[in-house]
Amino acid sequence: MNAAALTEKFDNINLLRAFAALAVVVYHVIEHGHWTQFPVAGPLVTFRIGWIGVDLFFAISGFVIAYSALLLYRKAPGTFQREYWLRRVSRIVPLYVLTMAAWIALGSPEFLARSASWWALQLASHLLFIHNWSAATHGAIDGVNWTLGVEMQFYLLVAVLIRWIDRAPGWRIWLWCIAIAWAWRAGAVILHAGEAGPLFMWTTQLPGALDEFGAGIFLAKWVLEGRVRIPAPRLSWAIGTAVFGYTAVSIYWQRADYWIFPAMVVFWRTAFAAFLLCLLGLAISLPQSIAYKWLRPVDHLGEVSYGIYLWHLFAVQYVIHVAGYRHVESLVGVVALTLLAASLSWRYFEKPLMRAARASERRTSIVLQPASMEGKWSG
């Protein structure tokens, strides 16, 4: 693999991040505002299942984290753990902590009047990123934060298994991920059959989401091993996206009361993961200028998508539950406030911290890099 490929940037992934974040935002506007008149047919019906944005984020993380981690590991195994965690922590933790603090400060009097033991439980579990393990802490502070627990646990898994991930074939890694996900979700069905709340919490734990993360890992290995030269790659990925997407969504709409169907709970997300794999493959096979040249505004939304995700429930609370807006007015208000908060936090908070972290990484690399490695991975 040449140096250019090892430093390739996949800008089109930002377009998928933008869609994932906005899908979750619109879904929560529909649900919180009880928007029963929202379209039930046509392209817009996708937003009625906007929770799929979370699944897309998991697949994107599988690809991006595995790809970048493998590059770091192959470049300098000795400094991998430090550089890997510096990147992950500097990207995830600061805004996560800031939005948690803001949520607590702006919470209702009843929320703030909780007991000391309740607060100790919440803060400890959230700061350790294990708050998604218990119904008492799952979604208690800035409801979407449960996914950050899953993400951070995935980062830890990659850090621990990086040597195996580097050596094992991508297809074997994904098969293991699928088998573990099926077993975990089957266990959840046995213990909580028909109970939507517990089933949701347990099937979205890291083991239950591994088929989606694994799809991303498989693609990262595929790219790094130089196997992207399939016949007519763009057409192949497009056909796969259409076929798996149509099949997965058709199956879902036939059984939209998802949690009462054990087979859906156990197996459906793997079919959806196959669709996400093809969608990611299509995004990286298309010209990357689509994002940074032709769809620059959407590319920006992808760039600030983490902020969109963490700030949007603040906007939902104010626009819908405080100001009382509904339907189109609520959607416009929520999107406007969310984009403002996400853009400001990106420019004045997240980006400066990331630059500082990268500068620290470069300084450490200069000090620790053996002279014999200088220039080997440049370009």
| Per-residue model confidence as pLDDT tens digits over 136-186 | 999 999 999 999 999 999 999 999 999 999 999 999 999 999 999 999 999
Residue 253 has pLDDT above 80, yes or no: yes
Cα Rg of the chain, angstroms? 21
Mean per-residue pLDDT, 268-295 = 94
Contacts of 224 by beta carbon, 8 Å cutoff, 6+ apart: 1, 5, 6, 67, 70, 71
Angle between helices 305-316 and 80-105 (to 10 degrees): 20
Contact (CB, 8 A) for 285 and 233: yes
User: Over 80: is that where the pLDDT of 102 sits?
Assistant: yes
Residue 101 carries which side chain, given as an amino acid letter? A
- Beta-strand ranges (E) seen in 215-295 are none
Convert the pLDDT of each residue in 38-92 to its tens digit.
Answer: 998 888 999 999 999 999 999 999 999 999 999 999 999 999 999 999 999 999 9
- Distance set, CA 229 to CA 68, 83, 222, 236 (Å): 21, 31, 10, 11
Q: Which residues contact 222 (CB under 8 A, 6 or more apart)?
A: 170, 228, 281
Q: Which residue has the tokens 């046995």?
A: 190
Residue 76 three-state SS: coil
Q: Which amino acid is at 61?
A: S
Q: What does the mean pLDDT of the chain come to?
A: 91
Rounded to an integer, what distance in angstroms lies between the CA atom of residue 150 and that of residue 147?
5
> What local confidence, expressed as pLDDT, does residue 331 receive?
97
What's residue 376's pLDDT?
A: 31
What mean pLDDT is predicted for residues 265-288?
96
Model pLDDT, residue 366: 57
Q: Is the pLDDT of residue 348 over 80?
A: yes
Mean pLDDT in residue range 303-331: 97
Question: Do residues 241 and 275 lie in contact, with contact meaning Cβ atoms separated by under 8 Å?
Answer: yes
- Phi, psi dihedral angles at 49 (to 5 degrees): -115, 40
- Model-wide pTM > 0.85: yes
Q: Closest by alpha carbon to 275, among 243, 253, 252? A: 243
pLDDT tier, 375 (very low <50, low <70, confident <90, very high otherwise): very low
SS3 167: helix
Per-residue pLDDT band for 367 (boundaries 50, 70, 90) equals: low
Q: What is residue 28's predicted lDDT score, i.e. its pLDDT?
A: 98
Q: How confident is the model at residue 109 (pLDDT cuts 50, 70, 90)?
A: confident
pLDDT at 364: 63
Model confidence at 211: pLDDT above 70:
yes
Higher pLDDT, 213 or 368: 213
- Quote the pLDDT of residue 149: 97
What is the domain partition of the chain in residue ranges? 3-82+115-344
Q: Given this model, what pLDDT does residue 4 score? A: 37
Q: Which residue has the tokens 């949690």?
A: 259
All residues at 6 or more sequence positions from 330 whose CB lies less than 8 Å from its CB, including other chains: 29, 33, 35, 319, 320
Phi, psi (5° rounding) for residue 178? -65, -45
Q: Which amino acid is at 341?
A: A
Other CB atoms within 10 Å distance of the CB of residue 370: 9
Of 11-15, 42-46, 52-56, 268-272, the least confident: 42-46
pLDDT exceeds cutoff 80 at 1: no
Cα three-residue angle 312-313-316, rounded to 5 degrees:
95
Give per-residue burial for 257-281: e unless 16+ CB within 10 Å, then b. eebebbebbbbbbbbbbbbbbbbbb
Asked if 29 and 180 count as a contact pair (C-beta separation under 8 A), the reply is no
Q: 158, exposed or middle or buried, with CB in 10 Å at 0-12, 13-18, 19+?
A: buried
CA–CA separation, 113 vs 15, rounded Å? 42
The predicted pLDDT at position 141 comes to 94
pLDDT confidence of residue 377: 27
Residue range 187-197: average pLDDT? 94
CA 237 to chain CA mean position, Å:
21
Checking if the pLDDT of 379 tops 80, the result is: no
